[in-house]
């Protein structure tokens, strides 16, 4: 099969949608990781700031595979933000708050996107460019919820594990944190097995659905 035939047989619609999905994925990841860095900084740890993670530059945050996973499968990850818990006044509590900052920021981003979706719908829905922008807002909202929900899974190194570990006794907490990097292997096995696909989809849809009244409220403001 020649190169021309390969190109002719490509699903260009799918490729176009994939490329468009990269931009919402980047925004969701940047907001997520910057929130970790910002909260850690406010709680006394400057490690991530010194590494340049409190930045809008996407190249400081993205993991190429995690970005592609988020764009295609709506669940992904970024480069972990470095945190030195010994710089915190209350290490376990502050580590949990830093971890929660990412998913919470994703829910807030989704809420903002849905608000503007409802606010702008009447003015934009009838044009092709307007419809594209509205679709981009909805895609960003759903993707942001998906990233937040995925990161709340209590498996290291995801944020949910740091929140869960914070309620454990100190000696158990420290031991688990020592082996955190090995959780990546377990996480990859679970993700690629597809076991979490159904539950994550249902939970993401439920959270997204609970936020959609924000769009309806914004729509009524301009009706």
User: How is residue 41 written in tokens?
Assistant: 């900084």
Write out pLDDT tens, residues 154-171.
Answer: 888 889 988 988 888 877
Give me the pLDDT at residue 6, please.
46
Contact (CB, 8 A) for 150 and 200: yes
Q: Closest by alpha carbon to 125, among 115, 136, 133, 113? A: 133
Q: Which of 33, 51, 180, 216 is catalytic?
A: 33
Which residue(s) pair with 62 in the sheet? Answer: 78
Q: What is the pTM of this model?
A: 0.87
Give me the pLDDT at residue 146, please.
93
Give me the pLDDT at residue 14, please.
62
- C-alpha distances (whole Å) from 166 to each of 22, 162, 203 are 34, 6, 23
Is 33 among the catalytic positions?
yes
Give me the pLDDT at residue 4, please.
58
Task: Identify whether 71 is preceded by a cis peptide bond (ω within 30 of 0).
Answer: no
Mean pLDDT split into 10-residue runs, the chain, 223 residues: 54 66 89 96 95 90 81 76 92 94 97 97 88 92 94 88 85 74 75 82 96 96 87
Give me the pLDDT at residue 165, please.
84
């Amino acid at each position: 099969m020649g190169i021309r035939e390969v190109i002719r047989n490509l699903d260009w619609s799918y490729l176009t949608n994939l490329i468009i999905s990269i931009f919402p994925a980047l925004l969701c990841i940047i907001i997520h990781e910057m929130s970790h860095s910002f909260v850690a900084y406010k709680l006394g740890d400057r490690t991530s700031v010194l590494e340049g993670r409190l930045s809008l530059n996407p190249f400081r945050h993205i993991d190429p595979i995690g970005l592609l996973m988020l764009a295609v499968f709506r669940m992904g990850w970024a480069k972990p933000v470095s945190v030195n818990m010994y710089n915190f006044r209350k290490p376990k509590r502050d580590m949990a708050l830093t971890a929660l900052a990412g998913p919470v920021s994703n829910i807030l981003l989704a809420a903002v996107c849905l608000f503007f979706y409802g606010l702008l719908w009447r003015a934009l829905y009838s044009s092709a460019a307007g419809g594209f922008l509205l679709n981009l807002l909805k895609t960003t909202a759903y993707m942001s919820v998906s990233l937040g929900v995925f990161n709340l899974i209590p498996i290291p190194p995801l944020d949910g594990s740091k929140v869960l570990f914070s309620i454990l006794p100190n000696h158990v907490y420290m031991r688990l944190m020592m082996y955190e990097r090995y959780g990546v292997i377990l996480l990859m096995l679970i993700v690629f097995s597809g076991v979490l696909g159904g539950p994550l989809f249902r939970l993401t849809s439920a959270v997204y659905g609970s936020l959609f009244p924000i769009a309806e409220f914004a729509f009524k403001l301009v009706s």
